[in-house]
Amino acid sequence: MLTNRQLQILQVIVDDFVTSAQPVGSRQISKKEGITFSPATIRNEMADLEELGFLEKTHTSSGRVPSEKGYRFYVDHLLQPQIITNGEVEQIHSIFERQMLETEQVIRESANILSELTTYTTILLGPDVQKHKVKKFQIVPLTGQTAVAIIVTDNGHVENRLLTLPPGFSPSDIEKMVNILNERLTGVSLHEFHLKLETEALAVLKQHVHAAEAVIESLLSVNNQQSEGKVYYGGKTNMLNQPEFHDLNKVRMLMDLMEKESQVQSLFAPGKSGVQIRIGSENNHLAMENCSVITASFLLGNEQQGSIAIIGPTRMDYQRVVTLLEVMSQGLSRVFMKNNDGL
Amino acid sequence: MLTNRQLQILQVIVDDFVTSAQPVGSRQISKKEGITFSPATIRNEMADLEELGFLEKTHTSSGRVPSEKGYRFYVDHLLQPQIITNGEVEQIHSIFERQMLETEQVIRESANILSELTTYTTILLGPDVQKHKVKKFQIVPLTGQTAVAIIVTDNGHVENRLLTLPPGFSPSDIEKMVNILNERLTGVSLHEFHLKLETEALAVLKQHVHAAEAVIESLLSVNNQQSEGKVYYGGKTNMLNQPEFHDLNKVRMLMDLMEKESQVQSLFAPGKSGVQIRIGSENNHLAMENCSVITASFLLGNEQQGSIAIIGPTRMDYQRVVTLLEVMSQGLSRVFMKNNDGL
DNA sequence: ATTAGCACTCCTCTTAAGTGAGTGCTAACA
DNA sequence: TGTTAGCACTCACTTAAGAGGAGTGCTAAT
């Protein structure tokens, strides 16, 4: 168990290092407000804290730097809700008040504002498209052999896919097919929709429409690699300002990582609920060894769920980010509760 | 007018500098194949070439580096079609042979392969969506107050937009509206479609459908900021490997530039036709001062036009890139001629 | 017209010394 | 017994000086 004094010192060190990015020395700590004991005492305590694994040195005669364990402890026990200025809260709320119908735009703006306020990078994950319910299915023929299949979901998302039609597939075939599918599959989730296309629906279709298999196959062929929720970025280049990313190699790894949507999905998916913090190696990814990710999820109407992630260096202003994230995610949830349109 | 020897020397300097990224000295040149004269002679010629503005020195006693004017001359007069290996040609063609229906995927793959082969960054601009012809217009109601408007174009592109319906707007109103619009506006370009929505169509609608203005307005409201062609990237982080981008500031400027689609549109739009090269400051953009852009356009069936841009340092392997770009753009044109589906 | 020779420039790498922030330990102190 | 002052020591960082080397421009010889 840590003594009060140790807690106090750990807190000061983290707070100081977060803003200065420089190892913190005993003298410097002693001058901080609320510190009543001498540098020598602090040195002793720091030695203990280091032994316990909360602090590290960059070299034998440097000041101390929080270790991952140190950050973890700080985040778990020392985090105090921080006051953010009214101006900032207003800035966030202003997005919601501008009555923009398009969810997508709200999301984009949110990502931008968050990265502006935090100076870190924001990733916004839309809800898992696969969970949306199918509202309407449609096929629009283009030429003799090609057509577009369109699926509209209950919250306004539109999926579309090009099809090749088998030779001799007539407009009335299309109509029959569309009718059957709408009749049977409206209201199921996109995920189920695709499943049932291959099984039940296909069986029925075969009886009524010639060459239905070919169309269904064409319809399914592209699906696998695609989607889950959409990904939006804010302040992608912000990390270039952080001193820890003066190393081009790290920058490259991170950038590459962010290009791969599938990886982003898994890395930045929110934990259960509320605000979650993953520090450095807790992210289980080489490129993220010096990064922390703070995620929060928000609701989009009926059980849909999106999430916001802020990526910064492990030396990150956790307090501030957590507070901002809470304000933002609550705001988003509220907005999407009202006009339940989704994205 | 430059003498043959000067041409030869300029060519060697550019070629050498392109691969080594180091200023080229007279001794080094003299050892090159085909060079029969001594370093001293070369020094004299180099002094002349510098006076003419084709070469520069990084400091008084360094070797020479091509100036922008030097590159320009090289590109205009000294470029020789370069042999690229069969393997590479095959690699390009392999994309086209995999029978993927989705245009989008072909484009993505193309961007990736190009950036892999060149080690530079690729930007692929889809054709201007505004020119697509409207094939079908549709409104799918979601809840009482919201609906999705969908526009399918002749080449399979699907635009969609959320609408708020005015109170009391009934399904039959929707049907009437959709019918009128489909009747009058099928076959016009998206651009015209939006224009006519505000004028002719609106006039007719007013007569038949109550509160039509509100719907139209909602339909148009989001349009302005959106689209032109879509943008695809390949090898975004490739430039981090180039020695000229060890400067984080330059990296940041370029990355920021590439995030802004509208700027990308204008910077990387192709010139008239064929392969176009813009060197350094010819790009008229601060972030691109040390970059060259090579663009080529390709055809997507009926007069639609996409374009490929490769961005690299001014010290770029122009010959190779030009050849690769030609192979690729011709390949793309051919593919899209066949299955005219567009994106 | 070409080229060998040479003095000169300037970048780059290495070494050495000086500075300063910070530590750990010991001994004195309350 | 917990706290603190003092002091020797460590190590990164900066600056200066020197050596080496690649390359140039000019001059004079071929």
B258-286 confidence digits (pLDDT tens): 988 888 888 887 767 789 999 999 999 99
d(CA A271, CA A295): 8
Length B62 CA → C9 C1' (Å): 9
Minimum-distance nucleotide, CA of B25 to C1': D23
Minimum-distance nucleotide, CA of A29 to C1': C22
What does the block give as tokens for A68? 């991952």
Q: State yes or no: pLDDT of A337 exceeds 90.
A: no
Q: What is the pLDDT of residue A225?
A: 46
Residues with CB under 7 A from strand C: A 22-28, 39-40, 43, 46-47, 50, 57, 60-64; B 36-41, 44, 58-62
Please tell me the pTM assigned to this model: 0.87
Q: Which of B179, B182, B176, B178 is nearest to B208 (CA)?
A: B176
Chain B contact for A230, CB < 8 A? Answer: no
What does the block give as tokens for B91? 């690699």
Best mutation site among B157, B182, B237, B252 for testing chain A: the one with the most A CBs within 10 Å? B237
Chain A contact for B164, CB < 8 A? Answer: yes
Q: Which of A277, A257, A274 is nearest to A266 (CA)?
A: A257
Cβ within 8 Å, pair A259-B236 = yes
Burial bucket for residue A76 (CB in 10 Å: 0-12, 13-18, 19+): exposed
Q: Which of B163, B173, B134 is nearest to B151 (CA)?
A: B134
Q: State yes or no: pLDDT of B318 exceeds 60.
A: yes
Q: What is the pLDDT of residue A9?
A: 97
Helical segments of chain B, H only = 4-20, 26-30, 39-51, 68-73, 86-97, 103-118, 171-185, 190-198, 200-208, 212-221, 248-259, 261-268, 318-338
Question: Chain-wide mean pLDDT for chain A?
Answer: 88
Q: What is the pLDDT of residue B301?
A: 67
Q: What is the pLDDT of residue B225?
A: 46
Chain B contact for A248, CB < 8 A? Answer: yes
Chain A contact for B136, CB < 8 A? Answer: yes
Confidence of residue B334 (pLDDT cuts 50, 70, 90): confident
Number of H helices, E strands in chain B: 13, 10
Length A244 CA → C14 C1' (Å): 28
Length A59 CA → C18 C1' (Å): 20
Q: What is the pLDDT of residue A97?
A: 80
Confidence of residue B290 (pLDDT cuts 50, 70, 90): very high
Chain B contact for A136, CB < 8 A? Answer: yes
Exposure string for A314-329, b = 16+ CB within 10 A, e = fewer: bbbbbbbbbbbbebbb
DSSP A210: T
Give the largest Cα separation in chain B, rounded: 90
Interface list for B 43-82 with A (CB within 8 A):
none
Q: What is the CA radius of gyration of chain B?
A: 26
Which residues in chain A are closer than 8 Å to B142, comparing Cβ atoms? 135, 152, 154-156, 341
Q: State yes or no: pLDDT of A339 exceeds 60.
A: no
Length B14 CA → D30 C1' (Å): 32
What does the block give as tokens for A2? 């840590």
Cβ within 8 Å, pair B105-A140 = no
Chain B contact for A158, CB < 8 A? Answer: yes
Best mutation site among B104, B112, B152, B186 for testing chain A: the one with the most A CBs within 10 Å? B152
Chain A contact for B156, CB < 8 A? Answer: yes
Cβ within 8 Å, pair A148-B156 = yes
